[in-house]
Amino acid sequence: MTAQEIRKAYIEFFKSKGHTPIARARLVPENDPTTLFTGSGMQPLLPYLLGDSHPDGNRLVDSQTCLRSQDIEEVGDNRHTTFFEMLGNWSLGDYFKNEQINWFFEFITKVVGLDPNRIYVTVYSGDESLGIARDNESESIWRKLFDNLGIDSKTVDIGSEENGYKVGEQSGRIFFYKDKNWWCRAGSAENMPVGEPGGPDTEMFYLYPSVQHNKSYGEHCHPNCDCGRYIELGNSVFMEYKKTEDGFAKLPKQNVDYGGGLERIAAASLDNADVFKISLLLPIIEKLESISGKKYDSHTNDMRVIADHLRGAVFLCVDGITPSNKEQGYVMRRLLRRAIRFAFALGIEQNFLHEIVPIIIDLYSPDFPEVNSSKEKVLEVLLKEEKVFRQTLRKGVRELQKMAEKGSVTGKDIFTLYDTYGFPMELSLEEAQTQDYPINDDWKADFDQQMTEQRNRSQTASKGTFKGGLGGHTLQHKKYHTATHLMYQALRDVLGDHVIQHGSNITEERLRFDFSHPEKMTAEQIKQVEDIVNKQIDNDLTVTFEEHPTKEALEDMHVLGAFGDRYGDKVKIYRMQAQGSEKPFSLEICGGPHVDHTKQLSEEGKKFKIIKEESSSSGIRRIKAVLS
């Protein structure tokens, strides 16, 4: 099956089990200060897994585009990508372990047609010190499935991943792990704060017998080994516990959260461990072969990086991001520039995105209409960035010449070219050799040291940020959510209807809001927006919400939404309206949370104030505001 066929079959399969398909969320999460990108399929649904009611019911299915920028250095092997799709199905207090495990096994073996003899699974081993039971129920379900097919269902207790490399597979089929098979936002049951939900999970792996175990990862192979013999196809989380002062208690409602990599499942259906051979990536590779005159088999790493990075950049642009030197825009710029740099290694020195980007758009347009409708904008943004970066590369060549004139080129010089000018290490070396510039013998060790120090700085800077998760629901968060609605409408009143939200970020200390506007706001305009918001706060607007069909909301009610947002069949519409008024001041699609009355924003004499207005990227302005 092609990846496109698997995606469609998955949605249809779970529709037949009573699930409602929901639209993908943007790659940039709204109102979530903990993460830059949507990095998993469950991330947009976390509020509902924690108890909120979903407008489309308690059985949901989708295919969510995801981006994990922390994996950028991992791209180049046969399975890691920064951009990927995660097939997902959820039960919000409905079915549980038996249905989930049986249904997914049925889908993988009967619909996709994978060989059950090559399927291996992991389950949670429990933690006696915390009073959390071993997941014998999942083990029993798996054992029955394998036994019915005449497959030996031997169980092996592994414990930690590290221990797995010591004890190995032991001819097992069902493997018990500890922390690896526990899901919570804190990472492990032991580190969970009071009030936090979590639960055991079960993961499915597919064995590639032709892949030899690489002992550099550890002495023995096991399902969670990184050598590539076992590839994870999906993870079913059973959220059934809540941390209390006295330990762990069962939740009143038990949820199921499944996420599985579409690319990896598609590769398994081809019986090929290389995800870059699937139908969503191979056309990009083939075009690169045509442009460069090189073959994938001999330039594998370069072509994998280019194909992956350009997919991610295209979808970031579809979802309203443009290249910049800040946050999501910076990651997008880095993806594009890395792709162009690796193209140099293939001998592609001319602009080439105009040949690759339309292929990516055509691959995704049938299933994601927003990709096709954004085609012209995507091409404009990406081709402009390519042109600018090629000029930057020329600056790098001149800088290298200046460095060489001072003496031999050092590893620190080469790192500076890479870090400051985006100049490829390989290109620096090639240019130095072509121009006969002397290079220090120890340049590589020097370069690697600089790179390590940079990574350490980056890791230090990112401490305290979750990989994903839910923004806060405190009173302060609710106040700033509400203030954001008021400000959005005020901006449109002052600047015009061309103002469209391009993202927001809410913390307990401030709100941040990105919007379309071609120029810097004047001091007078900023004051007008502040006055309008404070007036509406004083008017004590009542804040209510109601659910409506999406088409009715967007076409008939003309409610506001965020650029790039994708909605399901129903949406929540928040209305902020003064008593006795014939129409609301603000009418906007949002997931919440908000206060009940706007007067709550002015408690303790606080006023709404814009503390900063600046450029976020080309044509996009950014406001930071506080209640003080």
Are 221 and 86 contained in the same domain?
A: yes
Same domain, 167 and 306: no
Lowest mean pLDDT among 304-313, 522-531, 611-620: 611-620
- Could you give the dihedral angle defined by the CA atoms of residues 534, 537, 538 and 540, in that order, rounded to the nearest 10 degrees? 170
Is the per-residue pLDDT at 534 higher than 90? Answer: yes
Q: What is the DSSP string of 317-342?
A: HHTT----SSHHHHHHHHHHHHHHHH
Same domain? For 171 and 49 the reply is: yes
End-to-end, the C-alpha distance of the chain in Å comes to 58
Which DSSP helix (H) or strand (E) runs through 166? helix 161-167
Per-residue pLDDT at 415 exceeds 60: yes
pLDDT of residue 508: 81
Would you give the DSSP letter of residue 555? Answer: I
Among 114-118, 239-243, 597-601, 615-619, the minimum mean pLDDT is found in 615-619
User: Half-sphere exposure of 456 toward its Cβ, with a 13 Å CA cutoff?
Assistant: 6
Helices (H), 270-421: 282-292, 300-318, 327-345, 353-364, 369-373, 375-405, 411-421
Output the average pLDDT for the chain.
87
Asked if residue 271 is part of any domain, the answer here is yes
Q: Rounded to the nearest 5°, which phi and psi values hold at 130? A: -105, 0
Looking up residue 614, the CATH number of its domain turns out to be 3.30.980.10
470 pLDDT band, cuts 50/70/90, is: very low
In a domain, 402, yes or no: no
The span from the CA of 229 to the CA of 415, in Å, is 35
- pLDDT interval class at 467 (50, 70, 90): very low
Position 34 scores a pLDDT of 63
- As a whole number of Å, the CA-based R_g of the chain is 26
Considering only residues 34 and 449, tell me which one the structure prediction assigns the higher pLDDT: 449
Domain ranges, residue 542: 475-627
Q: Mean pLDDT over residues 395-418, rounded?
A: 88
Read off the tokens for 164.
Answer: 């797995």
Q: Last residue of a domain, which of 417, 451, 470?
A: 470
Helix or strand holding residue 146 (H, E):
helix 136-148
Predicted confidence at residue 181, as pLDDT, reads: 93
Residues 203 and 254 in one domain: yes
Q: Which of 380, 341, 338 is nearest to 358 (CA)?
A: 380
Q: Domain total for the chain?
A: 4
- Nearest-angstrom CA–CA distance, 606 and 603: 6
The answer, yes or no, to whether residue 572 has pLDDT greater than 90, is no
Average pLDDT over residues 168-183: 93
pLDDT tens column, 350-390: 899 999 999 999 999 999 989 998 999 999 999 998 988 87
User: At a CB cut-off of 8 Å and minimum separation 6, what does 106 contact?
Assistant: none
Which of 454, 470, 486 is the last residue before a domain boundary? 470
Which of 276, 296, 316 lies at the terminal end of a domain, its last residue?
A: 276
pLDDT on residue 223: 94
Examine the domain organization and report whether 508 and 563 are in the same domain.
Answer: yes
Cα–Cα distance for residue pair 160/177, rounded to 1 Å: 6
Residue 465 has pLDDT above 50, yes or no: no
pLDDT of residue 461: 39
**Do 447 and 490 fall into the same domain?**
no
**pLDDT interval class at 474 (50, 70, 90):** confident
Give dist(CA 164, CA 169) in Å, integer. Answer: 8
The rounded percent of the chain whose pLDDT value lies above 90 is: 49
* Angle (CA) 55 29 306, round 5°: 125
Among 69-83, 253-267, 368-382, the minimum mean pLDDT is found in: 69-83
> What's the rounded Cα separation, in Å, for the pair 55 and 570?
6
The model scores a pTM over 0.85: no
Q: Are 264 and 285 in the same domain?
A: no
Is the pLDDT at 471 greater than 50? The verdict is: no
Residue 263 is assigned to a structural domain of this protein: yes
Q: Domain holding 176: CATH number?
A: 3.30.930.10
130 and 228 fall within a common domain: yes
| Residue 344 binned pLDDT confidence (cut-offs 50, 70, 90) | confident
3-state secondary structure (DSSP) of residue 186: coil
99-110 per-position pLDDT tens digit: 999 999 999 999
Whether residue 313 is contained in a domain is answered as: yes
On whether the CB atoms of residues 310 and 357 are closer than 8 A, the answer is yes
| pLDDT band (50, 70, 90) for residue 567 | low
Total Cβ atoms within 10 A of residue 566: 20
Per-residue pLDDT, averaged over 10-17, amounts to 97
Q: What is the reported pLDDT for 469?
A: 32
Is 403 domain-assigned? no
Q: How far apart are CA 189 and CA 127, in angstroms?
A: 9
Shared domain for 166 and 307, answered yes or no, is no
Residues 6+ away with beta carbon under 8 Å from 154 = 170, 171, 172, 173, 174
> pLDDT band at 33, cuts 50/70/90?
low
Query: What is the C-alpha to C-alpha distance for residues 107 and 88, in angstroms, rounded to an integer?
Result: 13
Closest C-alpha to 160, from 117, 198, 190:
190
Does residue 166 belong to any structural domain of this protein? Answer: yes
The answer to the question of residue 401 being in a domain is: no
pLDDT tens across 481-491, in order? 899 999 999 99
For residue 69, which phi and psi values (nearest 5 degrees)? -70, -20
362 and 268 within one domain: no
Domain co-membership, 354 together with 324 = yes
Angstrom distance (rounded) from CA 164 to CA 266: 27
| Average pLDDT value for residue range 470-479 | 69
User: For 123-163, what is each residue's pLDDT tens digit?
Assistant: 999 998 888 999 999 999 999 999 999 999 999 999 988 89
Q: Are residues 420 and 565 in the same domain?
A: no
- What pLDDT, on the 0 to 100 scale, is given for residue 9? 97
CA atoms within 13 A on the CB side of 560: 25
Q: Is the pLDDT higher at 171 or at 393? A: 171
